[in-house]
Structure 1
Amino acid sequence: MSTCSPRQAMDAAVEAARWAPSVHNTQPWTFSVSDVEIGLKADTGRQLKAGDVTGRELVISCGAALFTMCVAMRCAGFEPVVRVLPDPDRPGLLATVRPGRESEPDEVTRVLGGEIERRHTHRAGFADVPVPDAFVESLVRAAMGEGVRLTPVRSAEAVEVLAALTRAAQGVQEQDQRFGLEVVRWARPPGSTRADGVPAGSYPREGAPTEAVFPQRHYAWRQGWGAPGGQDETAVGVVAVLTTRADDRRDWLAAGQALQRVLLQASAHGVSAAFHTQALELELLREFLRLELFSGEHPQMIMRLGVTFEEKGTPRRPLSDVLE
């Protein structure tokens, strides 16, 4: 029997959801908690108006928060009952979650729950430590459990294509003032007390050269921000792409849930992820990738997986800021 009440399980779920990954650490969600269920809502005021016109990345971020809530609720001793997009008249309400029957969390659930606050996004190269193929395949199965395909990109030529398109997209975005101002909005200068955005210490001052160059966002915008070091970690890691068969909000939510499941499982084995969404924010490049590399499936996230020995915390908004 659970030692938590249903209300305590819901409170634990919302507290955990704050730690989900989100694009530029925008944390674009709010939660409403009633006597019986949690409502997960999109905070469109935090949407990237230039880079995420359709809201795809916002919904993926919220999907990651949804999966996190489900893990936390299972850890609290209740099987979550989830309704996705439950009300057509309320498009901002992405999902509801309520405690269902009492259940004892299995070992996998406990492990995933233990990684919720420890997992963090990496923004540099990785150490020269191989990620075993068998482990990567376990991540593929984890994504499949959420109805999403995770494809490791094994071909060096295909990796270079993805890197080149990422560089091209970054170059185009840097020439567009809208994209530049958007990155500035979510960049935190040193000493900032903001509880969202990307801290200056979460990326290296100078990126280490890797064999295939996947550029990171220029959050420092020529200010010389960033952490010293990072030159010893020069491996690209395993490049992988999340794809879905269709491309609507339900698919984006599923992609976010699969993403967080993969990230928590990876974190439990000492593997971190670096994200590269630049090419997916330009519709022509995203369509090219869909048709030429991913057999018609829609790419939702490009990432690199690898080992890093750097530990960096990530700021989160207090509960009072995300509760309605």
Structure 2
Amino acid sequence: MRVEDAMETINAAVQAAVWAPSVHNTQPWSFAVDGEEIALRADSDRKLRLGDVMGREQLVSCGAALMNVRLALRALGREAQVRVLPDPDRPALLATVRLGGAVEADEHTRLLHAQIERRRTHRAGFTDEPVPGHLVEELVYQAAAEGARLTPIRDEAAVRVLAALTDAAQEVQSQDRLFTLEVIRWGRPPGSTRADGVPAESYPREPRRTRPHFAQRDYAHGHPWGGESDQFAATSTGLVAVLTTQADSREDWIAAGQALQRVLLHACAHGVRVAFHTQALEMFHLREFMRQELLSGENAQMIMRLGFTGDEGVGVRRPVGEVLEDRGI
């Protein structure tokens, strides 16, 4: 491959990576290019100091970005040779991805790749249309392909417990002034030109409560921010599901992020949007309660709701130039 072609492929892969979901849209990653290798790093300046003390959510976010790199390279005809946590002495170096041999992308890879810039996080209720059973099975398979487990929560009592835990965590966190300020930092007011954080247009101004109700983050914090799309029509909780891993190491967090993004892109390809709820996962005792009492000893990496909505959502991302260090090729 010509040097120019290799650089074009690498730039396209990083461009895909920045569209990954991340907690509060912090985009907590950076990339460095050395020859035909991309290094994915955790950006410590974008880690949540209070909400993500252990860095779990940051690594899940970066794992989603890694999945996008893999998909983009394969869609562009190159295999991705991935090493996760390649250097114990450099904990911020999460993965390296080297351009491998030529490969022909299969139809599913092309399908997922096409959703990367289309996928949006949802922050409200859904329509009453259920997610088809066959699609749920496909999403479970997508997570398993990356070494994680996606468990649809069918039992109404278990759904109520997860909703109650989310609400309790939200109430406790909202009483913590420093924690609240950290969340507010990532809320974008209307008209903001920032390329990170949660846009005011990405959540409803007057959200309707669903039953059971899963608490949403308060990015507006008393301001009359928010959009109007779907806020009165979409009142269903949707399908509740939990993404888990057997172990709970840094490697598992990165794997969970890759599994999460694979699930999200497959869902997006079939018109399904996803809402995240991480409040209870940010409190050790609540997360441990879920592991012991609800999840058969597995570790929750994401609580989510899935469903249909007419709201397309908005998305903002930093340009590649802000996240990519080019060392030459």
CA contact (8 A) 1:19 1:316 kept: yes
What residue number does 1:79 align with? Answer: 79
Q: Which runs of 5+ in 1 are unaligned?
A: none
Alignment of 1:65-214 (within 5 A): 65-214=65-214
Q: Which amino acid aligns with 2:146?
A: E
How far apart, CA to CA, are the structure 2 residues paired with 1:6 and 1:142?
A: 29
Aligned residue for 1:275, secondary structure, equals strand
Match of 2:255 in 1: 254
Q: CA-atom RMSD, angstroms?
A: 1.2
Which aligned segments of 4 or more residues in structure 1 are displaced greater than 3 angstroms?
A: none
For residues 186-212 of structure 1, the C-alpha deviation after alignment (integer angstroms, 9 at most, x for no partner) is: 000111000000011100011112111
**Contact 1:120 1:272 survives alignment (8 Å):** yes
* Structure 1 residue aligned with 2:276: 275
Partners of 1:207 and 1:231 within 8 A in 2: yes
Whole-angstrom distance in 2 between the partners of 1:205 and 1:221:
11
Counterparts of 1:82 and 1:306, CA distance in 2: 33
Match of 1:318 in 2: 319
**Alignment partners' CA distance in 1, 2:288 and 2:130:** 31
Structure 1 residue 130, shift from structure 2 partner: 1.0
1:185 to partner: Cα distance: 0.4
1:228 and 1:143 mapped to 2: Cα distance? Answer: 33
Cα displacement (A) at 1:34:
1.3
Quote the Cα distance in structure 1 between the aligned partners of 2:178 and 2:77.
46
Give a deviation string over 1:146-166, Cα, whole Å, max 9, x none: 000000000010000000000
Kept in 2: contact 1:10–1:98 (CA 8 A): no
1:189, 1:199 within 8 Å by CA — same for their partners in 2? yes
Greater CA drift, 67-76 or 126-135: 126-135
- Cα offset, 1:228, TM superposition: 2.1
Report the 3-state secondary structure (helix = DSSP H, G, I; strand = E; otherwise coil) of the residue aligned with 2:101: strand
Contact 1:131 1:306 in 2 (8 A): yes
- Quick check: 1:304 aligned with 2:305? yes
For the residue of structure 2 that corresponds to 1:274, the secondary structure is strand
Counterpart Cα distance in 2 of 1:321 and 1:288: 40
CA displacement 1:157-183 (0-9 Å, x = unmatched): 000000000000000000111210011
**Alignment partners' CA distance in 2, 1:90 and 1:138:** 36
Matched, 1:225 2:199: no
Q: Which moved more, 1:221-230 or 1:27-36?
A: 221-230
2:126, 2:238 within 8 Å by CA — same for their partners in 1? yes
Shift of 1:5: 3.0
Q: Deviations over 1:232-288 (max 9, x none)?
A: 001111100010111110000000000000000000000010000000000000000
Shift of 1:6: 2.9
Tell me how far 1:60 sits from its aligned partner. Answer: 0.3
Structure 2's unaligned 5+ residue stretches are: none
Residues in 2 aligned to 1:144 and 1:220: alpha-carbon distance in whole angstroms: 36
Which AA in structure 1 matches 2:148?
A: V
Provide the aligned length of Structure 1 versus Structure 2. 323
| 1:89 to partner: Cα distance | 1.0
- Per the normalisation by structure 1, the TM-score is 0.98
**Alignment deviations for residues 69-114 of structure 1 (CA, whole Å, 9 cap, x no partner):** 0000001101100000001111100000011110010000000010
Q: Deviations over 1:290-319 (max 9, x none)?
A: 000001100000000101111122100011
Aligned equivalents of 2:281 and 2:322: distance in 1? 30
Contact in 2 for aligned 1:244/1:299 (Cα 8 Å): yes
Which whole-Å CA distance do the structure 2 matches of 1:212 and 1:72 have between them?
A: 38
Query: Within 5 Å, which residues of 2 pair with 1:238-253?
Result: 238-253=239-254
Q: Secondary structure at 2:256's aligned position in 1?
A: helix
Q: CA contact under 8 A between 2:120 and 2:315: conserved in structure 1?
A: yes
| C-alpha distance in 2 between matches for 1:145 and 1:10 | 25
The 8 Å contact of residues 189 and 200 in structure 2, kept in 1 or not, is answered as yes
Tell me the secondary structure at the aligned position of residue 5 of structure 1.
helix
User: Equivalents in 2 of 1:96, 1:262: separation in Å?
Assistant: 23
- Say whether the 8 Å CA contact 2:63–2:254 is kept in structure 1: yes
